[in-house]
Amino acid sequence: MDSETRRKKEKLLATHKQNLANLEEQIASHGPPTPLGLINSRESEKQSIANLTGSTRSDLPARARYVNMWTYEPGERLDLSLDILDTCYRIDLTSFFSQTTHTVRSPNVSEWEDILSQLRQFANDCRHDPTIVGIIHSTAPIGVAFGRTFAAAPKTIWVNQGQKGRIDWWNSDAEAGGVDIPIARPGEISNGTDTVIEVCAIHHQRNNVRQQVTEAIDRLSISVKERISIGFEDIPNGVQGPGHATAIANIVGQAVRNVQGGNEVHLFLAIPVALSVFIGLELNACPQVRCYEHIKNDHTRNQHYYVPACLLR
């Protein structure tokens, strides 16, 4: 953790402690019965202090290797202690992106090679650790590349995922299942050479994603033999948790492995980043995969499009 981040967290910790002291004074001066609002506020401050000074959240493994990787500064605060954030492996990718909650610039070819090299270095550094906890705030291609780094390794991966205003932790060992399990829906076979796989788990964006993928195929002159859709109308309620994510990732992985002849797979994603990590874990013993970055141009309203990102061999 850099000095500026630690200073901010220590300042935040001091604020919570002062708030708790003020609440204790109010409760003592009020006398019984203590208003429920004061009691709840006191418990909230105690929990915030515990999150900043404790060891880890109770639903995370006690012994694990932590990595903090980001392409943008997250707006939410994770329930992790100063000690964990101070000692975890850090992969700062902000210099390669121009991103807030969406990407407006994607790395070039040499920069992607640098990013993949950093991921391989981390994988080598933690080769003896059976469990990895990824604190990841990035784009889908980064998530896929991160997961792909461990596709051949027998490791358990935990990754943060925002769910309905809270932070959950998804475990790659979760049993596949859940509602709205999609199938791989092949499109028309044409005379090209490569396979396009488009995955959408953001229901309200499904029509936009199809249009943007079609535009990318034409603009980038992708030679398409087959176009496979996964998700879209089959996932009307989004990804429901780690088991659901595992099921979807299994289907995507199988679709990639079914590609014949060693031709390139073009992977277009509109999914949660945690699911992209799970998909990356499935990309073992498969053709080379080209991921595509979703770009939103802030200077041209509603201009969204895909550009080539990392090539995973």
* Residues 167 and 190 placed together within one structural domain of the fold: no
- Positive or negative, the CA dihedral 70, 75, 81, 83 is positive
Matching residue, tokens 């995969």: 289
pLDDT tens digits, 87-133: 789 999 988 887 555 556 789 999 999 999 999 999 999 999 999 99
Predicted confidence (pLDDT) at residue 163 exceeds the cutoff of 90: no
Domain count, the chain: 3
pLDDT tens digits, 237-282: 889 889 999 999 999 999 999 998 768 999 999 999 999 999 999 9
Domain that holds residue 295: 185-312
* Residues 140 and 234 placed together within one structural domain of the fold: no
pLDDT band, very low/low/confident/very high, at 77 (cuts 50, 70, 90): low
The domain boundary residue, chosen from 28, 53, 78: 53
Find out whether 171 and 145 touch, Cβ atoms under 8 Å: no
Predicted confidence (pLDDT) at residue 139 exceeds the cutoff of 80: yes
Predicted confidence (pLDDT) at residue 312 exceeds the cutoff of 90: yes
Q: Lowest mean pLDDT: which of 37-51, 58-72, 128-142? A: 37-51
Find out whether 134 and 67 touch, Cβ atoms under 8 Å: yes
* Residues 233 and 134 placed together within one structural domain of the fold: no
Q: Is residue 177 part of a domain?
A: no
pLDDT tens digits, 218-228: 999 999 999 99
Residue-averaged pLDDT of the chain: 85
Mean pLDDT of 29-36: 79
How far apart, in whole angstroms, are the C-alpha atoms of residue 167 and residue 57? 11
* Residues 198 and 302 placed together within one structural domain of the fold: yes
What pLDDT, on a 0 to 100 scale, did the predictor assign at position 17?
Answer: 81
pLDDT band, very low/low/confident/very high, at 201 (cuts 50, 70, 90): very high
Q: Is residue 149 part of a domain?
A: yes
* Residues 191 and 244 placed together within one structural domain of the fold: yes
The domain boundary residue, chosen from 139, 171, 203: 171
- CA 250, distance to chain mean position in Å, is 17
Mean pLDDT of 124-144: 93
* Residues 160 and 198 placed together within one structural domain of the fold: no
Mean pLDDT of 43-50: 74
Q: Is residue 58 part of a domain?
A: no
Other beta carbons within 10 Å of 16? 19
The domain boundary residue, chosen from 171, 193, 220: 171
Find out whether 199 and 163 touch, Cβ atoms under 8 Å: no
What pLDDT, on a 0 to 100 scale, did the predictor assign at position 87?
Answer: 76
Q: Is residue 179 part of a domain?
A: no
pLDDT band, very low/low/confident/very high, at 1 (cuts 50, 70, 90): very low
